[in-house]
């Protein structure tokens, strides 16, 4: 689909079903990241989107095209073209930040929100500036050294340490998905919609009148703490915990899907779709 001059890769499954779940992947991910999860939702229409600069979606040269505000606008235009007015929105990490930003901007379309290992951004301008600097440095490294060098480094950061115990075929699939990325897309994504570049949504949580499920892994202490803090601000919220690291849907897909499905059966299917 072409949205505001950018070609987006979108997959729609179970087209004859309703209601709808929209899934948004994390940084270095794509629609493929949800392969092991979507099979648990045969009764829902499923929409998988490769976010800008990722997977098979186009990677524009101008980093200004990647801001969170423009990504939200693209996503809204895309869903309007698909004639999907109400849906549950599931986002992981970067996709979770995007999902939360979308829900805060267009709450009338979101019937339920699931945020996996996600945050509302950084609270202070000094923290955001520091993160922008680090993300810009990483972006330059990606462009200078290429995708393989970046992936070799990225898959060894502490955030993904728990993935080293996954079966070989799972680790190979995750690595292949990362290696498939466009270096320019990843670099511009960091610059345009990285955690330091996006606006903070902490101040909007108390106004978000949408049911929210926060999911975090016990081994991911940083995002466990963020979820606990978010829980204090959100109006309608549950916090689910799985014995895993950052990428729950990769490490424990069945458990992740079961928790999401149970939550949606109570907070989405029973309401308007």
Res 247: pLDDT: 98
Position 269 confidence tier, pLDDT thresholds 50, 70, 90: low
Q: What predicted TM-score, i.e. pTM, was given to this entire model?
A: 0.96
Res 142: pLDDT: 98
Q: Summarize the confidence of residues 89-103 as an average pLDDT.
A: 98
**With pLDDT > 90 as the criterion, what percentage of the chain qualifies?**
97
CB proximity list for 9: less than 8 A, separation 6 or greater: 30, 31, 49, 50, 55, 56, 57
Q: pLDDT tens digits for 19-63?
A: 999 999 999 999 999 999 999 999 999 999 999 999 999 999 999
Rounded to whole angstroms, how far apart are CA atoms 266 and 33? Answer: 25
Res 218: pLDDT: 98
**With pLDDT > 70 as the criterion, what percentage of the chain qualifies?**
98
28: left (phi over 0), alpha (psi -120 to 50) or beta: left
Q: Summarize the confidence of residues 109-117 as an average pLDDT.
A: 98
For domain 2-267, is the CATH number 3.40.50.1820?
Answer: yes
Q: What are the residue ranges spanned by the domains of the chain?
A: 2-267
Q: pLDDT tens digits for 132-146?
A: 999 999 999 999 999
Q: Which residue has the tokens 């149970």?
A: 262
For residue 265, pLDDT beyond 90: yes
Res 18: pLDDT: 87
Res 245: pLDDT: 97
Q: What is the DSSP letter of 247?
A: -
For residue 96, pLDDT beyond 60: yes
For residue 153, pLDDT beyond 50: yes
Residue ranges of the alpha helices (H) in 146-233? 147-154, 168-179, 183-193, 221-233
Q: Summarize the confidence of residues 81-99 as an average pLDDT.
A: 97
**Mean pLDDT, the chain, as a whole number?**
96
Q: Which residue has the tokens 């290992």?
A: 117
């Amino acid at each position: 689909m072409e949205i505001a001059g950018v070609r987006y890769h979108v997959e729609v499954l179970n087209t004859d079903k309703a209601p709808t779940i929209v899934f948004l992947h994390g940084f270095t991910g794509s629609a493929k990241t949800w392969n092991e999860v979507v099979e648990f939702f045969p009764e829902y229409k499923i929409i998988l989107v490769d976010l800008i600069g990722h997977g098979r979606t186009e990677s524009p040269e101008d980093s200004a095209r990647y801001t969170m505000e423009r990504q939200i606008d693209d996503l809204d235009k895309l869903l309007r073209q698909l004639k999907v007015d109400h849906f549950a929105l599931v986002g992981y990490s970067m996709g979770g930040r995007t999902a939360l930003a979308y829900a805060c901007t267009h709450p009338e379309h979101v019937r339920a929100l699931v945020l996996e290992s996600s945050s509302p951004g950084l609270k202070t301008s000094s923290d955001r500036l520091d993160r922008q600097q680090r993300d810009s440095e990483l972006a330059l490294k990606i462009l200078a050294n290429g995708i393989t060098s970046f992936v070799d480094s990225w898959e060894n950061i502490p955030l993904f340490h728990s993935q080293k115990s996954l079966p070989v075929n799972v680790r190979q699939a995750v690595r292949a998905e990362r290696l498939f990325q466009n270096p320019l897309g990843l670099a511009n994504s960091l610059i345009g919609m990285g955690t330091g570049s996006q606006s903070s949504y902490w101040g909007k949580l108390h106004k978000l009148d949408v049911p929210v499920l926060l999911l975090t892994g016990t081994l991911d202490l940083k995002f466990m703490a963020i979820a606990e803090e978010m829980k204090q601000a959100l109006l309608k919220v549950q916090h689910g915990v799985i014995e895993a690291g950052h990428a729950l849907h990769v490490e424990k897909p069945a458990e992740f899907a079961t928790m999401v499905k149970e939550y949606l059966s109570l907070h989405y299917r029973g309401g308007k779709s």
